[in-house]
Structure 1
Amino acid sequence: MPHRCSTSNELLAGLAAVALTIVAVTPANAGTATGAATEWTQVLNNGELVALVGKSGEQIQNQLTQISQLAQQIETQLNIYQNLLQNTATLPSHMWGQVESDLNQLRSIVDQGQSIAFSMGNADDVLQQRFQSYATFKANLPSNGTFSSIYQTWSDTNRDTIASTLNAASLTADQFDNEETTMSSLRSMSETADGQMKALQVGHQIAAQQVAQMQKLRGLVSQQMTMMGTWLQTEQTDKDLAQARREKFFGATAPSTSGGEKMKVQW
């Protein structure tokens, strides 16, 4: 078996502080940050909020890299199992147990990708609510959209692709929606060689899809962090310029009052 790289089910560091707290105070199916999120952000000043979101970009990219690598490992391993199954009636129970573990990990990978997209979209919503200058940067995105809407599109596309793959094998998304139903479905499929092959083929296809989807998600995160960096630089430049103007105004030498005619009282 290839070495499994460890991935966290929680988002890391700053983004967790910003985005996952927002999730906790909004409905589970909320697509954008609501008034509750706006109220929560008042506990942070502008610099703290920006720092929490901004510093998490590299950590999120690293997590997406780990997820993508794990999906590739699962894809490779499932292909090996398919080849083995072609030469035997069914896979031995101990080997099928590893298949179940791999496919359950694959389900977890899908969930992690969805969580990252949801959280990054929420972070985008909060920043737009707090900073008007940040909101104007959306003009640089396709169709004057927002990263929140782009992440939602990615999420919908990913789920639809997985659903289509499952449907093609006469399976439903519900059967792979959570760990309990996934394991129940896999136990039923393990009873026949056809069922095992179907599970392996579906898993292999979904793993390949997730490798591609995580690459797209990494691209979105990178684009978002680049835009945020540009915005922060612009904001700082404006502040520095305003400060320089203030210092110049208040530090200027007062005009001389000597050399003019003396005022005389005339009767």
Structure 2
Amino acid sequence: MPAISRRDLLRGASALALASAVPMPAHAIAVVCTNCSTIWHQLMEYAQQVYSVGVQLQQYRTQILQYLNMIQNTVALPQQLWSMVTNDIQQIKNLANIGALLAGNAGGITAKLAQFDAAASQVLGLSDIVNKYNAWSQMAGQNVTAMQLSFGMAQNQMQSDAALVSAIQAQSGSATGQMQVLQAANEMASVQISQTMQLHQTMMSQGQAIAAYMNADAARHAEADQATINFLSAPPPPMTGGKRY
């Protein structure tokens, strides 16, 4: 029988330690996620940006509500003030688009994580999360379109900021027209705030799941390393005095 080298023994011990530390499901693919930490940091950055978008949307909604309160106590808002209303509505539209972009980016890095480790994708349900992020992106665009349609814009004008301003200005001549614009903007902002904060919470929850997976993976490797150290630290078996055959 050929002699077993020390290298062969080390390889066998390491493999045994890795296999016994955390049993892997039979259908899981043991692929190491070498950049999980980078993905986690990216996701947390997007979550913070999404939260910031939500806060800004809330500020603009507060201003819209102030305009609505003012118009109830007067005939119509003066044109100088109405230009501020127009700017606020544009900012709400822009923030909605930023939220959609952040949702799409988060879905992209989530899909990337699934490519690195099948076990992680099973634990986190990444495909469902990606689909949810994509749905949020589409929802933001639909909200903006609905608001623009309420201003009397045609479909072929939807991508034009100038057309949006013109549509808002067209209804600025009377208190009734201004009220309709402000109500539509308020509804748009309210829906977008709710969805943005839900998006932020989902990102945070997913980040916590990724962090838990990273901790478990680090613990598994630490146990495997310790098993290898214990093996190397053990006294060598006696070379003499054994039973002879």
Q: Does 2:242 match 1:256?
A: no
Match for residue 184 of structure 1 among 162, 166, 170: 166
* Counterpart-to-counterpart distance in 2, 1:80 and 1:182: 22
* The structure with more radius of gyration: 2
Query: How many residues are paired up?
Result: 214
- Equivalent position of 2:70 in the other structure: 84
Matches within 5 A, 1:165-244: 166-167=148-149, 170-171=152-153, 177=159, 179-244=161-226
Q: 1:246 to 1:179 in 2, by over 3 A?
A: farther
The CA deviation at 1:102 is 0.6
CA 1:188/1:254 → structure 2, altered by over 3 Å: closer, same or farther?
A: same
1:32 matched residue in structure 2:
none
Structure 2 length as normaliser, TM-score? 0.74
CA 1:219–1:177 in 2, change beyond 3 Å: closer, same or farther? Answer: farther
Give distance in 2, aligned partners of 1:242 and 1:97: 66
Q: Which has the higher contact order (CA 8 A, sep 6+)?
A: 2
Q: What is the deviation of 1:104?
A: 0.9
Pairing partner for 1:137 from 106, 123, 142: 123
Query: Which residue number in structure 2 is paired with residue 120 of structure 1?
Result: 106
- Comparing 205-214 with 60-69, which one deviates more in the overlay? 60-69
Aligned to 1:108: 94
Secondary structure, counterpart of 1:146 in structure 2 = helix
1:146 deviates by 2.7
User: 1:92/1:244 Cα in 2 relative to 1: closer, same or farther (>3 Å)?
Assistant: same
Dislocated runs of 4+, deviation >6 Å = none
SS at match of 1:255: coil
Q: Compared with structure 1, are the counterparts of its residues 80 and 260 closer, same or farther at alpha carbon in structure 2 (3 Å cutoff)?
A: closer
Identity %: 21
The alignment's TM-score, normalised by the length of structure 1, stands at 0.69
- The answer to whether structure 1 residue 68 and structure 2 residue 40 are counterparts is no
Query: Amino acid of the residue matched to residue 100 of structure 1?
Result: T
Q: RMSD of the alignment, in Å?
A: 2.8
Corresponding residue number in structure 2 for 1:13: none
Is 2:129 the partner of 1:147? yes
Deviation digits for residues 118-175 of structure 1 (CA, Å, limit 9, x no counterpart)? 0100000111112223222244x7xxx4311111122333444454455556556765
- Residues 1:63 and 1:222: Cα distance change in structure 2 (over 3 Å): same
Q: Distance in 2 between matches of 1:174 and 1:231?
A: 47
Aligned to 1:53: 39
Matches within 5 A, 1:152-163: 152-163=134-145
Q: Which digits, 9 at most, give the CA deviation of each residue in 1:211-263, with x for residues without a partner?
A: 11111111111111011111111211221122222223333322101224789
Which residue is equivalent to 2:26? Answer: none
SS at match of 1:102: helix
Flag the 1:79–1:126 CA change in 2: closer, same or farther, 3 A.
same
What is the Cα deviation at residue 83 of structure 1?
2.7
CA distance in 1, matches of 2:162, 2:225: 59
Q: Which residue of 2 aligns with 1:10?
A: none
Structure 2 letter corresponding to 1:236: A
1:178-229 residue CA offsets vs partner (Å, 9 max, x unmatched)? 5343223323333444432222111111111111111111111111101111
Deviation at 1:94, TM superposition (A): 1.4
Cα deviation code 1:82-126 (max 9, x no counterpart): 232234443212101110111111011101110111010000011
- 1:175 and 1:185 in contact (8 A); partners too: no
The 8 Å contact of residues 44 and 203 in structure 2, kept in 1 or not, is answered as no
The unaligned stretches of length 5 or more in structure 1 are: 1-44
- 2:97–2:141 CA contact under 8 A, matched in 1: no
In structure 2, the CA distance between the partners of 1:89 and 1:167, relative to structure 1 (3 Å rule), is: same
